[in-house]
Each structure stands twice: as structure tokens, then as C-alpha cells.
Amino acid sequence: MLLAVDVGNTDTVFGLYQFGNWEHIWRTRSLVQENEVHYESKLRLHFLEAGLWFGDVETVVLCSVVPALTPVIQRMLRTMFGEDIIVVGPEIYPALSIEIDHPHEIGADLIANAVAVSNRYKENCVVVDFGTALTFTTVSKESKILGVAILPGLVTAVKALFANTAQLPEVPLQLPATAIGKNTTEAIQAGILLGYEGLVKSLLARIRAELGGECIAVATGGLSSIIETLQDEFVEIDRKLTLDGLRIIGESLQA
């Protein structure tokens, strides 16, 4: 079995892969104030409820974009599975080159996403990750990360609006029927969701133009299906893309 761990700003995701499938995927909140005992107890409970044994895990791959949590999760994983933990960084997967100014600045999750699409598709591709941040990672058909665009994610944008305005409520992320909101909730939904729809289309169009027009797009992240009108922009929407990249990295290093 292979265990992939993706530590994000909002959630930490544990994925257990065997027999060619993600047999189990568990999520827990990424809480920087908690220690390794907290995360170990949650993972032990997941294994117990699934009838699994820690000793059956042969490979553990970790990526993290939360520096304060990275050593905490590392210690927890080493306690449970031994010292041989694969931690994803810019030099971990030589088949993918990172053609940006400062490779160590790129998020480990974006590296995993790029590894997944470079193995799945042999053409120019943009990975649009709808998470706490909304990221666009451009990968060439030669398996090179060409660059990234980053902006606040949908929930982050709504929370920022709610936190910094006295009279605006927090609203559900539901696509409105019209751009002309008739009440406060509809107005925020129109501004955020329809605004992001235009933003995503505009950035994808610009990236494609800079690559000469030949570029597909793949969506991932927990909110990748929220804006239904964007689905035609993507050849695939895969919420397990990051985990799959971690799997490919783990399998390549254990081969």
C-alpha cells in the first residue's frame, strides 16, 4: 500500500492507494496549533475503522504547503511508518524540470499536480487548482513547469469580503442565475462566482495565447466543480490529481 499525505492550508488529506485504486481518502483540518499526537490519533482511528494495518503501508509520500505543520506531520508519519518518508520538493522527481526563477518557492502540491498531468498527457497543460488559493500551473509537453499564477481562492475571497465589511453576510457558494443580483446574497454570488468564471476564462485564454494556442486545461481542488459553466474549459476535473502526482513520485522512487 501507498499512503499519500497532502497538507494544505485548509485541510490535510490522507489517501491510501492499493490494487490500482484510491481505496480510502480521509480529510482533517490543518490546525497549526495541534501537535503530532492529534494527527496520529486521527489517522490511527481511520485505519482502525477501515480494518487496516500500519505495517501494510510500504511507501509514504508527503507534500505540504504549511511550513509550521510540515515537521509535525513528518514526526507523526515516522512514528507510525518508520523513517523512510518521501517529502516532495523541487528536486524530488527528475523527469519534471522546474523552469522558474526560484524553484524552492513553488508549492509541493503544485509539483505533484504537474507530475500527474505530465504523465497523463503529453501536451501543454494548465492545472487549475481550486483550493484556498486559486492556482494556474503551466506545464509544457516536454514535462517542464513553465510558471504559475496565484490568486485568492473562492472561499478566501468570500471570507475576506465578509471580514472587512460591516453589512455584508457570508453566503453559500452557489452559482446565481443572473449577474444582476436582486438581494445581498445574490449580489455577492454574482460578483464572486461569475467574476471568477470570467477570471478563469481570461487567464486560460492568455496562457494559451502565450503558448501559441496549443494547451489543454485540467481542474482539481475541492471547489473545482462549483462553477459549472467552466466545465467545458477543462478536458478533465479530477479532485484526486494531487494525490495521483504523489503516488507517481512515490512509485518512481521505490522502483
Q: Indicate which residues carry an active-site annotation.
A: 109
Nearest-angstrom CA–CA distance, 231 and 137:
18
Q: Please indicate if the annotation marks 129 as binding a ligand.
A: yes
Nearest-angstrom CA–CA distance, 128 and 113:
9
Q: Please indicate if the annotation marks 12 as binding a ligand.
A: yes
Which neighbouring-strand residues pair with 64? 7
Which neighbouring-strand residues pair with 21? 18
Q: What is the DSSP string of 64-131?
A: ES-TTTHHHHHHHHHHHH-S--EE--TTS-TTSEE-SS-GGGS-HHHHHHHHHHHHH-SS-EEEEEES
Q: Please indicate if the annotation marks 89 as binding a ligand.
A: no
Q: Please indicate if the annotation marks 70 as binding a ligand.
A: no
At 68, the amino acid letter reads A
Q: Please indicate if the annotation marks 238 as binding a ligand.
A: no
Q: Please indicate if the annotation marks 108 as binding a ligand.
A: yes
Residue in 228, 218, 221 with CA at minimum distance from that of residue 193: 228
Q: Please indicate if the annotation marks 132 as binding a ligand.
A: yes
Q: Please indicate if the annotation marks 107 as binding a ligand.
A: yes
Q: Please indicate if the annotation marks 7 as binding a ligand.
A: yes
| Residue 36: partners with Cβ closer than 8 Å, 6 or more residues away | 72, 73, 75, 76, 79
Q: Please indicate if the annotation marks 13 as binding a ligand.
A: yes
Q: Please indicate if the annotation marks 165 as binding a ligand.
A: no
At 57, is the secondary structure helix, strand, or coil? coil
Q: Please indicate if the annotation marks 101 as binding a ligand.
A: no
Give just the sign of the alpha carbon dihedral 240, 246, 250, 251.
positive
Residues at the binding site are 6-13, 107-110, 129, 132, 184
Residues at the binding site for substrate are 107-110, 184
Residues at the binding site for K(+) are 129
